[in-house]
Amino acid sequence: MKKLIVRTSGQALVVAATFASPAFAVPPSSSAYVTDPQSSRVEDATSEGIGEVNMITCVMSALRPDALVNQGAYVALVDKNKCDSEKRASTANSGSTSDGAQAASYINAVVNSTRASNNDPMIVKTWLDIEEEGRHQSIFVHISATAAPSAGNAYGVFRLDYCGKANGMTGCPSRGYLEGTTSGLNFYQLDDDGQNSQTTALRLVTANATSGSGRLQQDNPFEHSAFTFGYDANLYRREDDNGDQCFSRDASDPDTGLSVWRYGLYDFDSGARITRNSGFPIEFTAGSQKYHGYLGYYGLSLPGEAMEALANGSTVDKVDYSGGNSPTRTSYTVLKAPGKLLKYTRKTRTLRAMDKIKFTTFVDMNASNFFPGAVPNTQYELYWDDAAGRFVATARMSCGENGCQTEDLPAPQDVSLAYWSTRGGAQGWSQSLGGELFINLQGVSEPVDAVSVQVVYRTQDLVYPADLPATLFCVSNCPTAASLAAYFADGSSADSPFVPATFNNWQPTLAANVVTYGTDAPTATLRDGANAVVAFSDFEAFREHPMYQQGVRTGRLFTQPAEAECAVGSGTYCDWKVNGAEVYYQWETGPNPWNQFAAVKDSSGNFVTFDAPLQVSYNVPNGAAYGQYAGKSIVLQYGAFGDLWGIPGVCVSRLTNAVVNCNEQGSRYVPSFVIPHDSTAGQVSDGTKTYLVKWLDREIRFAKKPLSACTAAGLTVPANVTLPTASDLKDPSDPASSVYIGTKPAVTSAPRVIHGDVKF
């Protein structure tokens, strides 16, 4: 019955599975590496219109009602970030160094799945609690599933009704249904905030197993959009306001776009999944209410009201599933702080080994030395072109109300080495090298010997209270409690949340102007010169400053002044010199759980620690599919099963699937290439051990073809399609409705499912 819930995307049927299966020399065929399932879905211009229902069905799949039929109501946790590709892509494209893209954000759900007999439908009743930007929403879902997908019916027979509303609200401002029938698919959604309403309607008619047609239409007071489409065994044709377009359904076409958002990591010999001690489920009781959440490397995830009630010294229970059907609980004492300290340990490679690997760097007021026409105080994207022997800038970062996106330059620009002459080198951030980097250009002149130029990058670790350095120093981007409060105050004219003299300060700094911090282990905090906690966490204030929506992070913090002295005996201190230190630190603060420290202590007062992401290197194969990264070595991060990230990306058009400028309307960010499920080309290494990679969740973007290809094949789009309407909406929260799911059951047992993983 699982597929009744999973395969609900309006374009799922057009997937053409024509890839050859890889041959495996290792590991054994019975291993998880070979047997773990893989899923593919098609991404098309129509996908955006049904994005919310795709997220809902992803969530429903992760609740696993198919696995727990007639076993009573149970609690499940679902990481909504794994089901929200738009949010994940936006965060990845922002160039942010925040851990927000990897931090889990769990939805709490109560699920009851029943089936009277094998001849009766499976009925699933679900109550979801969702926190979004400080607002709490409840979603009520009713599913009736009668027939599973089959060769003759790609969707099966089912109906999913849902209603979403804020707590305490009557009626459902957001409601809809998704229905699979023997002839196709119907979807209708209505969003009404009391002032404006938006509707989305989809009708998909399947003529047979390989052909069909349909229409998707969206309407609101400001815009009308509609897509009409048809497909056969080989082609897909779509007509909309932008014209009539034809696409190939052949997934092996070299122009077909492929992207993967989730990978698994496996043992090279046995093929077993690689697991990390990245966190565990917890329970927290406040008054008579029990809350379910998760504590891990990236912080604490609990419902909003639980986070407000949780204080230092509170008790939470770790839920341990190792006992099978009888999970055990162990009590721990909580310590949380409004910020956290991260430690970065040095690694190196040569500039030649960084050929064509993109990174971003901030350009200050001296932008004219960067390249003619460069904009001051702007972050640029660039790379080292080893064949040409120069740095090349390709894009700039543009920030607005919806965050920051890369914007391609009209033409690539050669960057002058002179810009970095007084800075010691290029300080930046690279997704392909795992974060912060520094290219040591001290004394380097043209022509550049790229083999002798050193690139420093870092591995990251969370610092626990017992390991906090007593004193830390800072010369660039150094905040205090006062500078944070001043910047985020209403009507503030401050340029940044940092002490003004330190904002993007790359110049030699006198000892008297070096900012000194202390630390306080009992509270796990960084203290400024006034002994105030260097932290700010007001959510609404951060929302008004999109540049810092992922939090505020200091520049490099160091423990010994000598580590930053510009030249021995100079009495001046340079931020770039800290890159030579074996270790440096950064303090982060903000409104999100991943900006803050959260840990627990056992009965002996010892902290429970978690594994930092495993840093692995991937030697990208040669071939056109890998673009400018072919033959290069990049760095990836592995946080937990399914969470492997670091592949660089590009933006593509929703309408044509072609690569476009990221600031173009209708663009979306996707990983540039796919690590193949292959025991040779899909290897990564942490320097001491080799692992295998397998993609788990893949999207396919069809290759565009001349319209004549569709017309010659006789493929047309339908002239008249009857769309579903609001008249068939049903409300699962209404006692008078035929799909009423009733009052949410009170379940006190531990979560049985954590994002698709059935624990007992």
Q: Flag whether pLDDT at 528 surpasses 70.
A: yes
Q: Flag whether pLDDT at 351 surpasses 90.
A: yes
CA angle 288, 291, 294 (to 5 degrees): 155
Measured distance CA(656)–CA(702) in Å, rounded: 9
Residue in 107, 111, 112, 57 with CA at minimum distance from that of residue 77? 107
Q: What is the pLDDT of residue 172?
A: 86
Residue 475 DSSP one-character state = S
Q: b/e for 497-512, b at 16 or more Cβ within 10 A?
A: bbbeebbbbbebbeee
* pLDDT band, residue 748 (cuts 50/70/90): confident
Structure tokens at 737: 């409705």
Mind spelling out the 3-state secondary structure of 223-252?
Answer: EEEEEEEEECCCEEEEEECCEEEEEECCCC
Q: What is the pLDDT of residue 368?
A: 86
Phi then psi for residue 73, to 5 deg, are -70, 140
Q: What is the pLDDT of residue 566?
A: 94
Measured distance CA(306)–CA(593) in Å, rounded: 13
Mean pLDDT lowest among 265-274, 522-531, 744-753: 744-753
Instruction: Work out the average pLDDT over 635-646.
Output: 90
CA angle 493, 341, 484 (to 5 degrees): 15
SS3 465: helix
Q: Flag whether pLDDT at 209 surpasses 80.
A: no
**Is residue 62 within a helix (H) or strand (E), and if so which, with residue range?**
helix 51-63
Q: What is the pLDDT of residue 596?
A: 93
Q: What is the pLDDT of residue 6?
A: 31
Q: Which residues pair with 238 in a beta bridge?
A: 229, 245
Measured distance CA(713)–CA(210) in Å, rounded: 14
* pLDDT band, residue 23 (cuts 50/70/90): very low
Measured distance CA(181)–CA(48) in Å, rounded: 23
Q: Where is mean pLDDT largest: 10-14, 569-573, 697-701?
A: 569-573
Measured distance CA(673)–CA(259) in Å, rounded: 6
Phi then psi for residue 429, to 5 deg, are -140, 135
In the numeric block, the tokens 């056109």 are attached to 624
Structure tokens at 447: 């022509």
- What is the bridge-based pairing of β-strands 74-79 and 753-754? parallel
Measured distance CA(721)–CA(227) in Å, rounded: 11
Q: What is the pLDDT of residue 16?
A: 33
Residue in 52, 108, 125 with CA at minimum distance from that of residue 737? 125
Q: Which long-range contacts (CB under 8 A, 24 or more apart) does 660-667 make?
A: 661/407, 661/408, 662/93, 662/395, 662/405, 662/406, 662/407, 662/408, 663/398, 663/405, 663/406, 663/407, 663/408, 666/45
For the chain, domain boundaries: 2-39+46-209+718-758, 280-337, 345-458, 463-595
Q: Flag whether pLDDT at 326 surpasses 90.
A: no
Q: What is the torsional sign of CA 658, 659, 661, 663? A: positive
Residue that wins the pLDDT comparison between 700 and 267: 267
Phi then psi for residue 10, to 5 deg, are -60, -15
* pLDDT band, residue 401 (cuts 50/70/90): low
* Mean pLDDT score of the chain: 87
* Contact assessment for residue 384 and residue 404, using Cβ atoms and an 8 Å cutoff: no
The predicted-structure confidence for 80-111, as pLDDT tens digits, reads as follows 877 875 555 444 444 444 455 566 778 899 99
* Contact assessment for residue 383 and residue 632, using Cβ atoms and an 8 Å cutoff: no
Measured distance CA(356)–CA(260) in Å, rounded: 22
SS3 344: strand
Q: What is the pLDDT of residue 322?
A: 80
Phi then psi for residue 243, to 5 deg, are 115, -170
Q: Flag whether pLDDT at 337 surpasses 90.
A: yes
DSSP string for 351-414:
SGGGBT--EEEEE-TTGGGTSTTPPSSEEEEEEEETTTTEEEEEEEEEEETTEEEEEEEEEEEE
* pLDDT band, residue 42 (cuts 50/70/90): confident
The predicted-structure confidence for 486-511, as pLDDT tens digits, reads as follows 999 999 999 999 999 999 898 899 99
- Alpha-carbon torsion, ordered 754, 756, 759, 760, to 10 deg: 130
Q: What is the pLDDT of residue 145?
A: 93
Structure tokens at 363: 């350009």
Measured distance CA(597)–CA(582) in Å, rounded: 24
Measured distance CA(136)–CA(237) in Å, rounded: 41
* Contact assessment for residue 287 and residue 51, using Cβ atoms and an 8 Å cutoff: no
N- to C-terminal Cα separation, the chain: 19
The predicted-structure confidence for 543-593, as pLDDT tens digits, reads as follows 889 889 889 999 999 999 999 999 999 999 999 999 999 999 999 999 988
| R_g over Cα of the chain | 27
Tell me the helix, strand and coil percentages in the chain, rounded to 5: 15, 40, 40
